[in-house]
Amino acid sequence: MTTVLVTGGTGALGRQVVERLADSGAGVRVLSRRTDAPVPEGVGLVRGDLISGRGLDDALAGVEAVVHCASDPRRLEVEIDGTPRLLDAAKGVGSPHVIYVSIVGVDRIPFGYYQAKLAAETVLRDSGLPWTILRATQFHDLVLQGLAALARSPVVPLPRGIRAQPVDTRDVADRLATLALGGSAGRVPDVGGPRVERAEDLLRVYTEAAGLRRRVVSVPAPGRMMRAFRAGANLVEDGDLGTRTFEEFVREQVRPGKPVRLTYYRRPRR
Ligand SMILES: NC(=O)c1ccc[n+]([C@@H]2O[C@H](COP(=O)([O-])OP(=O)(O)OC[C@H]3O[C@@H](n4cnc5c(N)ncnc54)[C@H](OP(=O)(O)O)[C@@H]3O)[C@@H](O)[C@H]2O)c1
């Protein structure tokens, strides 16, 4: 039986990957900093931390593949130090196939977190381990939470000319689980959502579902980073498209009067 380690297996994406791998009959192990992290029955949990390196040898023992989803935009060292640490530990336990999830546009958008993701991609490519890299666009969850945070105010400023192609974590997880059970594939086609949408339209989808009336003010978006977004560097050009639209996701998640939980924006540091 193939055994796969999922770093970040407690996160929005990682949870879905874990579920799919477990359903496929693979042995699955999750690396988490928490001892009480909820994992599906039959899935192993190893306490560890990519920054300190604690627990990595135990987590990696006997695995054939690692799906590396752990990340923290507020702690770039998870990518910059944690990824090389994970890869070094992997070399010591039989050189498993490492599948890394990155973000569409990390090479074109000058933003610190994206630069850290690009550095992690490079370390993996140069590691000598079998590797696969999948870049995805923003997840529905992240976009919904960002819009819900903005829409707390009756007047919502939106940067002019920004489009997004949000993708469902279930669609990304389908690809990652398939990649984890196959061989090293290098950089595979990017994955994005089925539709490219203007920020105003995404906001309208949310406010309508939440029963809110908001005034939108279109504001200029200066700077190199926003220029790259306006140029569409965050969109999939020749990749794969997921199946679930943002509107479908919002209809599942949002009800009038029920606040959206802001897990990305209010997460406690550990
Ligand atoms: N969110 C998006 O829109 C988006 C879009 C494209 C690609 N991605 C990429 O997809 C991946 C998953 O994103 P996500 O949104 O699902 O993340 P998430 O929900 O924020 O989950 C982050 C995960 O990282 C783990 N983690 C954080 N710091 C760690 C550390 N020091 N050591 C070990 N584990 C650590 C957390 O585990 P514990 O808290 O249990 O320790 C958690 O499971 C990331 O690589 C991200 O860059 C995200």
Exposure string (b/e) for 167-202, b if CB count within 10 Å is 16 or more?
A: bbbbbbbbbbbebbbeeeeeebebbbbbbebebeeb
At residue 254, does pLDDT exceed 80?
yes
Tell me the pLDDT band of 267, cut-offs 50, 70 and 90.
low
10 lines ligand 1 (CB under 6 A): yes
- The pLDDT of residue 265 is 76
SS3 for 7-38 is ECCCCHHHHHHHHHHHHHCCEEEEEECCCCCC
At residue 247, does pLDDT exceed 70?
yes
Ligand 1 centre from 219 Cα, in Å? 30
With a threshold of 0.95, does the pTM exceed it?
yes
At residue 72, does pLDDT exceed 70?
yes
- The pLDDT of residue 182 is 96
Ordered by start, the domain boundaries in the chain are 3-137+169-191
Ligand 1 centre from 83 Cα, in Å? 12
Mean pLDDT of 83-105: 97
Mean pLDDT of 160-164: 96
Q: Are strands 131-136 and 97-103 parallel, antiparallel or unpaired?
A: parallel
At residue 101, does pLDDT exceed 60?
yes
Percent pLDDT > 70 in the chain is: 98
User: Ligand 1 pocket: which of 13, 202, 235, 262 to mutate (most atoms <8 Å of CB)?
Assistant: 13
127 lines ligand 1 (CB under 6 A): no
Mean pLDDT of 95-118: 98
Quick: pLDDT tens for 30-52.
999 999 999 999 999 999 999 99
**Closest atom, ligand 1, to C-alpha of 51:** 31
85 lines ligand 1 (CB under 6 A): no
N-to-C CA span, the chain: 34
Tell me the pLDDT band of 239, cut-offs 50, 70 and 90.
confident
Residue nearest to atom 21 of ligand 1 (CA): 11
User: Ligand 1 pocket: which of 51, 69, 83, 121 to mutate (most atoms <8 Å of CB)?
Assistant: 69
Ligand 1 centre from 33 Cα, in Å? 12
Mean pLDDT of 166-191: 98
At residue 270, does pLDDT exceed 70?
no
Q: Which residue has the higher pLDDT, 8 or 266?
A: 8
CA atoms within a 13 Å half-sphere pointing along the CA-CB vector of 231? 12
- The pLDDT of residue 109 is 98
- Residue-averaged pLDDT of the chain: 96
- The pLDDT of residue 99 is 98
Residue 3 tokens, joined: 């055994």
CATH class for the domain made up of 3-137+169-191: alpha beta
Mean pLDDT of 141-167: 97
Q: DSSP secondary-structure letter at 105?
A: T
Residue 255: CB partners within 8 Å, gap ≥ 6?
209, 210
- The pLDDT of residue 29 is 98
- The pLDDT of residue 266 is 62
